[in-house]
Structure 1
Amino acid sequence: MATVAERLDVEPLQLWTGSVLALLVALIGGSLLFPRTVYDGFVWHFFWGPVQADANSAFCAIREGGATRYLYESAACSAAPEPVAYPGYTLVSEVGYVVILLVALSGLVFLLRALDLGTDRELFFSLLPFVFFGGALRVVEDVTDAAADPLIDYPLNTLLISPVIYFTVFGVTLAAVVASVALARRNVVDDYTRPLLASGVVFLVATLLFLLWSAVAPDGPGTFYPQVIVVILAGSTVSAAGTWWLIERFAPAVNAGTGRMGFVVIWGHAVDGVANVVGLDWMVALGAGPNLVPKHPVNRAIVEITGSTLPASVLAVTGDTWPFLVVKLVAATVVVWLFDAQIFDENPRYAILLMIAILAVGLGPGTRDMLRATFGV
């Protein structure tokens, strides 16, 4: 079957560039021509407004007469006319970010082709520390926001808030990739993945040391609950290992294409699931302060459905977040099954980038939730 580029008789890179430019022109032009409808009602309402509200520690933000105002009481937000933006995600914004992610991945394929990279699976593992780094860096903003005198104020703190932080981490990662490739091509190192992995570890360790300092320093904004991170890592490892055993025992074809990458993806999403279960239901039981609140629509929906369907006596024992872990494990397993050997043979760069992205959307938020609970922010 002919591709879109072949039917239109254009180069794939030209088609991608033209499509991105057309989308940008539509959004920017629409925002200029119809600011109240396109910008206030869509771009700001679902994408930039939640970031502004989060960066200013507001309960919500509202758009009035082309200006943004922040509200700090729930009742005022409920009474405010639309558009009203709350910190966090909506279903519309999450769909939009998925579209942006797919477009960005296509662009990255062209970049990797230009650098002659991405056909080996070692790239996936060398980027693993950067996924942890992204989640940990998001907690830096949580810590500074909890401080009496924040180290990073608005608007710079938006660089550490989703989804802008994804571009921040991408910029850091891209710089590390280019530098590592340059070292390899100048014969300073034998393999670019080694300095790439090392640089990711350095960024991650530096971020974790800052978070630890914020917890143990006098008058620091955080606390330190080591039992939380131990329970989350142990629970996610056991649940991922159990899922992997079932796959290897009863359906080995599921993992025929991904190999070790498949286990890492399942483990990353298990971290997200267990971090939610512990953070939302078991913080008090672990002696680690109050339970957190769900920020993603899927989390909230699962909590609401479970809370409304199970008896109170059952919820008192199990909590209402555990189905989220089941959903994460099942979804990750299905994704691993979809990535068969043929996909990696036909387009290894895109397949590996997709695997990294799928890992990031689970392990990134999971790392943030795990560290938020661990450091009490």
Structure 2
Amino acid sequence: MATVAERVGVDPERLWGGAFVVALVALVGGSLAFPRLVYDRFIWHYFWGPVQADANSAVCATRAGGATQYLDSASACAAAAEPVAYPGYTLVSEVGYMVTLLFALIGVVFLMRRLDVGTDRSFFYALLPYMFFGGALRVVEDANDTPGATEALISYPWNALVISPIIYFTVFLITLGAVVVAVSLEQFEVTRSYERPLFGIGVVVLVVTVGYLFWLAFTGADGVEFYPQVLLVMLVGATLAAAATWWLIERFAPEINSGTETIGFVILWGHAVDGVANVVGLDWMTALGAGPNLVPKHPVNQFVVDFTANTLPPSVLAVTGDAWPFLLVKLVAATFVVWVFEEGIFEESPRYTMLLLVAVLAVGLGPGTRDMLRATFGV
């Protein structure tokens, strides 16, 4: 079957670039022509406003007359006129980011083709440290923004670079820089393969980031503690959940993982980390002696918590908590995605397949790492 680019007789890279320019002109032009409608009530309300509110430690942010105001109480936010933006995600923003991610992945495939990387499974494993790094970097902002902190390490607007979703672009640019350096080392015959230096650079930035969090904890920084029991419970719980799911797949439906093989287990484990981190962070922090429970950051998490709380009787919730279904949702979703990646996909489009697998793992392991380290360091 011919692709769209082949049917219209346009080079795929030019078609992608043209679509990018059209979208950019529509957003910028619409913001200039209709600032209150396009920018205030759409771009700011659903995308930039939540980042501003988060970066300024506000309960919410409002926008009127082209000016942004930050409010520090829930009652004031409830009484404010729309548009009102709260820290975190909305369903509109999550759909928007999903579409942006898929579009960006296509552009990255073109870039990978020019750099001649990403055809082997080793590329997937070489990028693993960067997925942990993204979550850890976000926790640096959480620690920077801790209520008890006396001095912020990163102030607004620079802290917006490490707040979701901007942090994804920040991590992408750092990762892209590492890929270019690694490929250059291979081309100059400093190393035989780019994967090893790529993995090594990722480990270095991850160790530096997590090391900074440990430094905050052990130097008595305000609002930052270290709870090793939380880290242990989350890692053991995620590993057991992923291993049990993997065993069930291999025992009863091995065809699910015939394409991804070991990568499939890594994806299951990454999403299990996200699921277990939510269960422990939302329900069991107090029981583990690690301070108050966390609060949901995503609409899906909040929906699961609300649904469970409104469905199960209080006596059951007192024993199970209300976040445990999120772990099941993550494992089922990850299993389905692994099943989609059959062996033929790797042969037809290896670069795009590898990039999709990296993205699938990143959307689980990135937030999971953040929640795990937030709970571990009490921020």
TM range (shorter): over 0.9
Q: What amino acid is aligned across from residue 92 of structure 1 in structure 2? A: V
CA distance in 2, matches of 1:29, 1:170: 27
2:145 aligns to what SS in structure 1?
Answer: helix
Q: How far, CA to CA, are the matches of 2:119 and 2:100 in structure 1? A: 23
Q: Does 1:242 align with 2:244?
A: yes
After TM superposition, the structure 1 = structure 2 runs for residues 1-377 of structure 1, keeping only pairs within 5 Å, are: 1-146=1-146, 147-377=149-379
> Offset at 1:221?
3.2
Question: What residue identity is the alignment partner of 2:263?
Answer: M
How far, CA to CA, are the matches of 2:355 and 2:166 in structure 1? 20
Give the fraction of aligned pairs with identical amino acids, expressed as a percent: 67
Question: Residues 286 and 31 from structure 1, CA distance in 2 versus in 1: closer, same or farther, beyond 3 angstroms?
Answer: same
CA distance in 1, matches of 2:102, 2:221: 43
Q: Which amino acid aligns with 1:38?
A: V
2:153 match: secondary structure: coil
Cα distance, 1:200 vs structure 2: 0.4
Question: For the residues of structure 1 that align with 2:161 and 2:33, how far apart are their CA atoms?
Answer: 28
Cα deviation for residue 295 of structure 1 reads 1.0
Q: How many Å separate the matches in 2 of 1:212 and 1:218?
A: 10
The whole-number CA distance in structure 2 between the counterparts of 1:28 and 1:313 is 53
Contact 1:214 1:221 in 2 (8 A): no
Q: 1:219 to 1:340 in 2, by over 3 A?
A: closer
Taking the aligned partners of 1:71 and 1:50, their CA distance within structure 2 comes to 12
Question: What's the secondary structure of 1:68's corresponding residue?
Answer: strand
Describe the SS at the equivalent of 1:61.
strand
User: What is the CA-CA distance between 1:3 and the residue it aligns to?
Assistant: 1.2
Question: Structure 1: which amino acid aligns with 2:55?
Answer: A
Which residue identity does 1:7 align to in structure 2?
Answer: R
User: How far has the Cα of 1:2 moved from its partner?
Assistant: 1.8
Offset of 1:219 from its aligned partner? 3.8
Inter-partner Cα distance in structure 1 for 2:144 and 2:74: 23
Cα deviation, 1:106-157, whole Å, max 9, x if unaligned, reads: 0000000001111101000000000000000000001111121101100000
Q: Distance in 2 between matches of 1:28 and 1:134?
A: 29
How far apart are residue 8 of structure 1 and its match?
Answer: 1.0
Q: For each residue in 1:308-364, what CA deviation from the matched residue of structure 2 results, as whole angstroms up to 9, or x when unmatched? A: 000101000000000000000000000000000111110000000000001000000
Equivalent residue of 1:148, what SS? coil
Q: Distance in 2 between matches of 1:25 and 1:340?
A: 38
Listed as ranges, the gaps of 5+ residues in structure 2 are none
Q: Distance in 2 between matches of 1:338 and 1:128?
A: 21
After TM superposition, give the deviation of residue 187 of structure 1 in Å. Answer: 0.7
Deviation string, structure 1 residues 272-296 (Cα, Å, up to 9, x no partner): 0000000000000000000000010
Q: What are structure 1's unaligned runs of at least 5 residues?
A: none
| Mapped partners of 1:352, 1:144: distance in 2 | 34
For the residue of structure 1 that corresponds to 2:141, the secondary structure is: helix
Tell me if the contact between 1:5 and 1:11 (Cα under 8 Å) persists in the aligned partners.
Answer: yes
Deviation of the 1:220 alpha carbon: 3.9
Q: Please give the TM-score of this superposition, normalised by the length of structure 2.
A: 0.99
Quote the Cα distance in structure 1 between the aligned partners of 2:85 and 2:54: 10
Q: 1:87, CA displacement in angstroms?
A: 0.1
Secondary structure of the 1:87 match is coil
Q: Distance in 2 between matches of 1:238 and 1:362?
A: 17
TM-score by length of 1: 0.99
Aligned residues: 377
Q: Which amino acid aligns with 1:375?
A: F
* Distance in 2 (alpha carbons) for counterparts of 1:313 and 1:376: 28
CA distance in 1, matches of 2:119, 2:153: 41
Deviations 1:159-190 (A, max 9, x none): 00001101110111011100011001111111
The SS at the match of 2:291 is coil
Q: Match of 1:180, SS?
A: helix
Q: Aligned-pair distance for 1:102?
A: 0.4
Residue identity in the other structure for 1:74:
A
Contact 1:148 1:221 in 2 (8 A): no
Does the 8 A contact of 1:144 with 1:221 survive in 2? no
Deviation at 1:83, TM superposition (A): 0.3
Query: In structure 2, how many angstroms separate the alpha carbons of the residues matched to 1:208 and 1:273?
Result: 21
Q: 1:34 Cα deviation (Å)?
A: 0.3
Once residues 178 and 219 of structure 1 are traced to their aligned partners in structure 2, the CA distance between those partners, rounded to angstroms, is: 36
Which 4+ runs in 1 deviate beyond 3 A? none
